Structure 1
Amino acid sequence: MKTKEIAYCGMMVAIIAVLGLIPPIAVPIIPVPISFQTMGIMLSGCLLGKKLGTISVVIFLLLVAVGMPILAGFRGGMAVFAGPTVGFLVSWPFCTYLIGSLVQLNHTKHQLMGYIIANLIGGMLLMNLMGGIGLTLVTHISLGKALWSCLIFFPGDIVKAVIVAIVAWRVKQHHFIKL
């Protein structure tokens, strides 16, 4: 890895951590809060691509695993990987990889729409699918019920996907990040 790439990964880890400072919003029907850190996951795939974006997210999760309280709500440690959010957390590297792959495939003049679609597929559909599976494994509710309850995240995820797509599109348009 080049020094520039290491710096980009470090900045993305910091961005994801800073997004965790925004207090999570409790959801009444499931024990998983709404977090703004998912925007960081989408942003890492959009800006850094599948390789560097995924490396950034894996580093972030390793920092969480060793106890750094950088998840929303100042959570950290191995216990978060045994709780109801495990499916969402485990999905993050896969989501980033998928978003990065979809963005890298889309090199047309309609990049903004490509970013939105990539974020909706990777940052909403895949994340909530894996999150629902994790919720089923931890809480022992049926998969159908878990997936159904994850639908509560869709309106906010759509807004997050669009905001991240606009930010990523503008950053790329002005060549702030050169990979």
Structure 2
Amino acid sequence: MSSTDASTAAAPDAPQAHAPRRRSVATDLALVATFAALIAVCSIIPGISLGPAAVTLQTLAILLTGAVLGATRGLLAVLLYIAVGAAGLPIFSGGAAGLAPFAGPTVGYLVSFPFAAWLMGVIVERLPRGKAATSIPLVFLAGLAANLVFVHLLGPLGLAWRADMTLGAAFLFDLAFWPGDLVKTLIVAVVATAVHRAFPGLLPRRD
């Protein structure tokens, strides 16, 4: 076979070399959109009002997004959710929409969500491959870290800023969310490990 024939024969295969990359990007976009929708659904489900804030399923969806998708895609999913809500779709807690929630008492919690999903993803991505799929305690601890570092820090700071509370009163008020968040974090650990057992290649590799 001549060199011309060889190059001609190889040509039809060339586009296939790029196909996996296109499918990967499409899958990532679909996952980001799906988890943004999950966060929206969990946000608009009626919660238990505690005054300036309410107990909802938001943090469950936020942590699950980071644990399942990893840091980058988890962050993007939460940012997409926030962008769509800020654009006017009523998908924030209590059916709120637009920019008003960013001037309200729960602004700290809202701002903390992308960071919490990112940190959750960072930690889970760096677990040994098998541990992300089998170690419920480690994923649970990752969720506690994300909650403690961001949600239960920025949330009370927002309350102190926008709800006319002292810092001490804001952090004391925030303690009411901890029992529910512990339960939700445990659920996240159970669900996330099950997902990674079923789809072991879902998380990006950190070799």
TM range (shorter): over 0.9
Cα deviation per residue 1:48-105 (whole Å; 9 max; x = unaligned)? Answer: 1110000000010011111110123211110011001100000001111111111112
Equivalent in 35, 49, 65 of residue 26 of structure 1: 49
Gaps of 5+ in 2: 1-23
Match of 1:134 in 2: 158
- Superposition map of 1:10-159 within 5 A: 10-27=33-50, 30-107=51-128, 109=131, 111-159=135-183
Alpha-carbon spacing, 1:101–1:121, altered in 2? closer, same or farther (3 Å): same
Superposed CA deviations along residues 110-143 of structure 1, whole A, max 9, x for unmatched, are 5321210111111355201110001111123211
Q: 1:160 aligns to what?
A: 184
2: CA distance, partners of 1:87 / 1:134: 4
1:175 matched residue in structure 2: 199
RMSD, aligned α-carbons: 1.6
* Amino acid in the other structure paired with 1:130: L
Using the alignment, how far apart are the partners of 1:26 and 1:135 within structure 2?
15
> Quick check: 1:21–1:72 contact (8 Å CA) kept in 2?
yes
Runs of 4+ that moved beyond 4 A: none
1:9 maps to a residue whose letter is V
Letter in 2 for 1:151: L
Q: TM-score scaled by structure 1? A: 0.93
Alignment identity in percent? 36
Which stretches in structure 1 are left out of the alignment for 5+ residues? none
Residue 20 of structure 1: SS of its match in structure 2?
helix
Alpha-carbon distance in 2 for matches of 1:171, 1:72: 26
The number of residue pairs the alignment matches comes to 177
With normalisation by structure 2, the TM-score equals 0.81
